[in-house]
């Protein structure tokens, strides 16, 4: 991940919809490398199937997969509980299901952010019903406001963040800002 030279403004810095940088490119890269080493050690004798939750986790999944020194398989699910809003609708919809059978597999769900916990709780129940040997979760971000719940056990956490709506590094608002290289607070309110 290339980083911006110190003191150089980017086009993102002039965007009035974007607030403070929550996590820099360098912070993200360092933590993703650490997570990759941990997952490599934990799954050394049983390479996992990484299940990326689209669309938000696609950049994180790509970077994380390159840091895991094991022969991996990847699959993707697309789910939605936000639509075009900055607040969850309370309803989870599967937009794209897995192509690979999970029976007897070691599965690692790769999620972008744990916010309300609704999406992850739904995914865990759905995937556990498919008979994996093991099921764990790796989430790049976990909001500090999320209450600990047994159905939301996270094996690997990138960062704990404040309960603010953030964009960048795959996270979006109305499909915008996924390509922002760092993670920033979105301050513009509901998207147009």
Active site residues: 115
Locus of tokens 């509980």: 81
**CB half-sphere exposure, 125, CA atoms < 13 A:** 10
20 by Cβ neighbours in 10 Å (0-12 / 13-18 / 19+) ranks as exposed
Q: Which residues contact 5 (CB under 8 A, 6 or more apart)?
A: none
Cα–Cα distances in angstroms (integers) from residue 83 to residues 30, 41, 64, 92, 183, in the given order? 31, 37, 26, 10, 20
Two tokens, residue 116: 């309300």
Two tokens, residue 4: 């911006």
Two tokens, residue 66: 């390159």
Q: Please give the Cα distance from 110 to 13 (Å, whole number).
A: 29
Helix, strand, coil abundance in the chain, percent, nearest 5 = 25, 30, 45
């Amino acid at each position: 991940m290339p980083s911006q030279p110190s003191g150089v403004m980017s086009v993102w810095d002039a965007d009035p919809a974007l607030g403070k940088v929550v996590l820099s490119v360098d912070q993200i890269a360092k933590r993703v490398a650490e997570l990759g080493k941990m997952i490599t050690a934990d799954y050394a004798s049983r390479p996992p199937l990484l299940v990326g939750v689209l669309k938000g986790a696609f950049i994180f999944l790509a970077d994380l997969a390159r840091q895991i020194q094991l022969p991996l398989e990847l699959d993707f699910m697309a789910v939605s509980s936000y639509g075009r809003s900055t607040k969850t609708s309370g309803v989870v919809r599967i937009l794209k299901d897995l192509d690979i059978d999970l029976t007897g597999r070691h599965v690692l769900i790769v999620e972008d952010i744990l916010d309300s916990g609704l999406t992850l709780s739904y995914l865990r129940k759905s995937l556990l019903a498919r008979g994996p040997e093991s099921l764990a979760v790796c989430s790049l971000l976990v909001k500090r406001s999320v209450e600990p719940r047994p159905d939301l056990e996270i094996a690997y956490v990138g960062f704990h963040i404040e309960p603010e709506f953030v964009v960048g590094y795959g996270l979006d608002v109305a499909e915008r800002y996924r390509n922002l290289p760092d993670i920033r607070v979105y301050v513009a309110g509901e998207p147009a």
